Structure 1
Amino acid sequence: MTAVAVEAAKPVPVARGYRFEFVKLFAAWRIRLLVLACWIAPALFVAVVSEQSSLPVDTLFGRWMNATGWAGPLVMLGFAGTYALPLLTSVVAGDVFASEDRLGTWRHLLVAVRSTRRIFVAKALASLTVILVLVAGMAVSGAVGGVLAAGNRPLPGLDGHLLIPGDAAVQVTLAWVCVLAPTLALGAIGLLGSVAWGRSPMGLLLPAVVALVMALAQLLPLPVALRLALPSYAFIAWNGLFTDPGQLGPLLIGVGVSLAWAVAATALAYLLFVRRDFTDLGHDGSGRRGLVVGAVPLVALLAVTAGILAVATPATGSGIDQDKVQRSLATSFAHLYRLQAGQLNRPDVTEAQLGATAACTKGDGLVEPEGPGNDWRCVVSWHLPGIDATGQAIYQLDITSDGRYVADGDGPKEVNGYFQVRTPAGDQPNPLWQFDGNVELLTTTKG
């Protein structure tokens, strides 16, 4: 008898598996609905709000939405980092493996592809592509809606300096690119939850729950090293792009930490998936053991990162102290004073000529001037060329734990006492009445 050689079946190439998973994701009505919403809803929201007289002043850059179109996509970015992106990653990455458990299609997929490793890579890449499409849609839609509604005009930064439209467009784009890192971290956590919990809805909710816990942690007065070790900090750190010089140290740390979490969570999901027993039809995931195996390394990564940052960075405590607050406020005031002078057709002066300084206390001087709180009181002083008298303005500051603050003018009325100023072109918002600022949590960072 002649032996017949049987050629072993080869696994399906990753590219074909990726195309199949990508098409399968977009075939789901919820994904198509999300894509449509992300590419249309932000433009409509930004355009409508930019035309209103009442603006979301409690949102970063919200007070500038009717003055420049580049404020709108930044308002959307703040909303997306807190709510939209965690939910989107839950729907996409948190369900990419669990859907096979609910439908009972693992055996068919394994027979067709013949490689658990290639199945994982294809599903991870397909979910990543969908997430990128959703994020790009929100960024482009918000920018288009803002520019069409409020115009392609200069954008005041977080320290008051003006960014010309071209620079504003670049910085807005970079800000959206930077939040891709924490979004990928949440997406990787979604993959881990989808693998570990199978058809259980807990896997679907895991990215949103983790994002909520981290967002709540950012509201607490954490040590600066622990705050920067959380991947959610990168959803906030893009603020540093809008100061001069840029506060790039915290931003780069936040992006690096987020990418480390993305790699670690994806690797853990991969290890759990390739070790899964697909012959047991009653087993739809790794269950409690998978959760422990996945969670412990991430907690260890957080501890190690926080330890490294505590040693490597010079900041201690909350990272908010009197000197930083005074420098930040004086810089913002000087920039915005020039903006107000232009509105009123006053002679232009440079920041160096003004020589603005700030003297700040906390709790009426009864507590140490450090840390967040709404009890900061500052007196800003400046000089005008040819005038001997020193100008002074009072501000009440509400500083949050992440370093952002709102400076509320408390007199004199000629400088910051009114919401609007009367200009030759009509009443316009007074830039010195109330403005946002940012205290860099690290001691020194050169942009």
Structure 2
Amino acid sequence: MTATVAETTVARPVSVSRAYRFELVKLLAQWRVRALVLACWIAPALFVAAVSQQDSLPVDTLFGRWMNATGWAGSLVMLGFAGTYALPLLTSVVAGDVFASEDRLGTWRHLLVAVRSYRRIFAAKALASLTVLFVLVAGMAVSGIVGGLAAVGDQPLAGLDGHLLSSGDAAGKVLLAWVCVLAPTLALAAIGLLGSVVLGRSPMGLLVPVVVALAMALAQMLPLPVAVRLALPTYAFVSWDGLFSAPAQLGPLLIGIAVSLVWAILATALAYFLFLRRDFTNLTDEGAGRRALTAGALPLAGLVAVTVAIVGVSTPSWGSGIEQDKVQRSVATAFAHLYRLQTKELNRPDVSEAQLATTAACTKGGGMNTPEGPGNDWRCVVSWHLPDVAAVGTAIYQLDVTPDGRFMADGDGPKEVNGYFQVHTPSGDTPNPLWQFDGNVELLPTTPKG
């Protein structure tokens, strides 16, 4: 008797690449994701082009006052908006729903039968959501740049210390700034994955990245120690402005990027760990629960404490970081650069910054308060010299310094120097560059120049 042994074919899990393509098609098949892709690739160009043609500009936004002077400013205005509002919302819609949607539709069993691997399902979903987010961010960057260049042109851009960036230099820094915000975007996306895994079909999973980003944005508005500020993963959304100073203020930016990447790794690892522990044979198990919430929240809270300690010990930076000598150097440097720009626009003889020998004397609260920390009660008297002129020139500025080190200087006389008047330039009439200008105080300890 010949026994026939039936060979059974072992079902192998589907490859990650095939599962990734399947998840990517599922995401792009959703009408809201398609709408977001369309909006991110079209809306910024229309917005930047329209605003750049207006007389009233968003001067309270970084680089907003330069939108009708150079096309590179519009993309940076969009970048500031994206970091505060758009990117947290995009991560919520994409990453915050990638696992929860299976719970709502009740399709986990079908997906597990098709792929036959928890690990590959997680990898495919995470990679697909990140791919869509990269497409959305790239669309906002490219669209904002195209809209600005089409409406205004590629004229030089004034940096936050007043020096002019050539078109090529401005292009490189604008693109680099957009690349830098990918790190905090990854952190929010990982938090979205974690919320989607932990909260299941609950709509709260969609809100996790938005709530986290909003809470950290509000924290950035408080007078926190620098170590705490830099320990938040969303700080890279604001620290890209250090690229537009000479020399570039890279310390806060690099720390912000590193913190964001650590958050992205830890949150993704927690989501992966909790996903593998889920019992998919139990139809009532959505992954949510006190243990899951604890396992997801406590490690992230511990990461904040550890990061604060590391940054505080290594820098050190336990104060506000806004000190009198830093404010004076920043105001004097920006004034000197912008004074030369004004001289060029008024067709006056050029003068070097060494000849100007610009200095600034700043007080806070009329000299009654300690000259440190944020506030709108800073007052600076700028002094400079001109060749073959015995008298010393002076100008007064009122400063509003925010907790993250940004400031807006408002000219308070004399009106011939820093008052409001139009300057005729080859690209059109523009306001006096010394009337109002934005600047940045580096929060980390610095060594004064020469």
* TM-score interval, smaller chain: over 0.9
1:106 aligns with 2:93: no
- 1:231-310 superposed matches below 5 A: 231-310=233-312
- Equivalent positions of 1:386-425 (< 5 A) are 386-421=388-423
Judge conservation of contact 1:246–1:446 (CA < 8 Å) in 2: no
* Offset of residue 156 of structure 1: 0.2
Deviations 1:48-99 (A, max 9, x none): 0000000000000000000000000000000000000000000000000000
| 1:425 positional shift | 8.4
Q: Which residue of 1 aligns with 2:153?
A: 151
The answer to whether structure 1 residue 210 and structure 2 residue 212 are counterparts is yes
Contact kept, 8 Å, 1:56 with 1:62, in 2: the verdict is yes
Q: Which amino acid aligns with 1:100?
A: E
Give the 3 Å change call, closer, same or farther, for CA 425–150 of structure 1 in structure 2.
closer
Q: Secondary structure at the match of 1:259?
A: helix
| Deviation larger for 130-139 or 436-445 | 436-445
Q: Which secondary structure does the structure 2 equivalent of 1:200 belong to? A: coil
Give the superposition deviation at 1:4.
3.1
2-side partners of 1:118 and 1:446: how far apart?
53
Taking structure 2 as the reference length, the TM-score comes to 0.97
Deviation track 1:372-395 (CA, whole Å, cap 9, x = no partner) reads 000000000000111111000000
Contact 2:225 2:317 in 1 (8 A): no
The 5 Å alignment of 1:249-398 reads 249-398=251-400
- Which of 175, 190, 194 lines up with 1:188 in the alignment? 190
Cα deviations by residue, 1:190-223 (Å, 9 ceiling, x for unpaired): 0000000000000011000000000000000000
Please say if residues 248 and 446 of structure 1, whose CA atoms lie closer than 8 Å, have aligned partners that are also in contact: no
Q: Give, as a single letter, the amino acid of the residue that structure 2 aligns with 1:433.
A: W
Corresponding position: 1:90 with 2:92: yes
Contact 2:419-2:432 at 8 Å conserved across structures: no
| Aligned with residue 61 of structure 2, among 54, 59, 62 | 59
Deviations 1:322-348 (A, max 9, x none): 000000000000000000000100111
Compare 345-354 and 280-289 and name the one that shifted more: 280-289
How far did 1:304 drift?
Answer: 0.3
Q: What SS does the aligned partner of 2:47 have?
A: helix
Q: CA deviation at 1:429?
A: 1.1
Contact 2:69 2:427 in 1 (8 A): no
Identical positions, percent: 77
Residue pair 1:38, 1:135 contacting (<8 A) in 2 also: yes
Q: Does the 8 A contact of 2:198 with 2:293 survive in 1?
A: yes
Give the Cα–Cα distance (whole angstroms) in 2 for the partners of residues 419 and 293 of structure 1: 60
CA distance in 1, matches of 2:295, 2:57: 47
Tell me how far apart the structure 2 counterparts of residues 444 and 365 of structure 1 sit (CA, whole Å). 24
* Equivalent position amino acid for 1:365 in 2: G
Which segments of 5 or more consecutive residues in structure 2 lack a partner in the other structure?
Answer: none
* Deviation for aligned residue 1:424: 9.1
- Post-superposition offset of 1:426: 6.8
Structure 1: state its 5+ residue gaps: none
Match of 2:37 among 10, 20, 35: 35
- Whether contact under 8 Å (1:15, 1:122) holds in the other structure is yes
The alignment partner of 1:408 has SS state of: strand
1:377–1:394 contact (8 Å) kept in structure 2: yes
Q: What is the CA-CA distance between 1:5 and the residue it aligns to?
A: 3.7
CA change 1:308–1:445 in 2 (3 A) is farther
**Using the alignment, how far apart are the partners of 1:288 and 1:204 within structure 2?**
19
Query: Against the structure 1 CA distance between its residues 113 and 424, is the aligned structure 2 distance closer, same or farther, given a 3 Å change threshold?
Result: closer
Q: Offset at 1:353? A: 1.1
Farther off after superposition, 14-23 or 349-358? 349-358
Secondary structure, in 3 states, of the residue corresponding to 2:370? coil
TM-score, structure 1 length as denominator? 0.98
**SS of 1:231's equivalent?**
coil
Q: Deviation per CA, 1:329-372, whole angstroms, max 9, x where unpaired?
A: 00000000000000100111111111100000000111110000
Structure 2 residue aligned with 1:137: 139
Cα-to-partner distance string for 1:274-322 (whole Å, 9 max, x where unaligned) = 1100011111123332121111000111100110000000333000000
Matched, 1:15 2:10: no
State the Cα RMSD in Å: 1.4
- CA-CA distance at 1:160 after TM superposition: 0.3
2:120 corresponds in structure 1 to: 118
Shift of 1:421: 3.6
Question: What is residue 76 of structure 2 aligned with on the other side?
Answer: 74
- Which AA in structure 2 matches 1:392? T
The verdict on how the C-alpha distance between 1:435 and 1:278 changes in structure 2, with shifts beyond 3 A counting, is same
* Aligned residue number for residue 440 of structure 1: 442
Counterpart-to-counterpart distance in 2, 1:314 and 1:100: 47
Structure 1 pair 50–7 and aligned structure 2 pair: CA distance change class (3 A): same
Task: Tell me, in whole angstroms, the C-alpha distance in 2 between the residues paired with 1:268 and 1:446.
Answer: 43
Shift of the 170–426 alpha-carbon distance from structure 1 to 2, 3 Å rule, reads closer
The 1:101–1:424 alpha-carbon spacing in structure 2 relative to 1, beyond 3 Å, is closer
**Aligned pair count?**
447
CA distance in 1, matches of 2:293, 2:446: 39
1:444 offset after TM fit, Å? Answer: 2.1
Code of the residue aligned with 2:321 in structure 1: it is G
Whichever residue aligns with residue 252 of structure 1, its letter is L
Q: Which residue of 2 aligns with 1:178?
A: 180
Q: Structure 1 pair 423/207, CA: closer, same or farther in 2 (3 Å)? A: closer
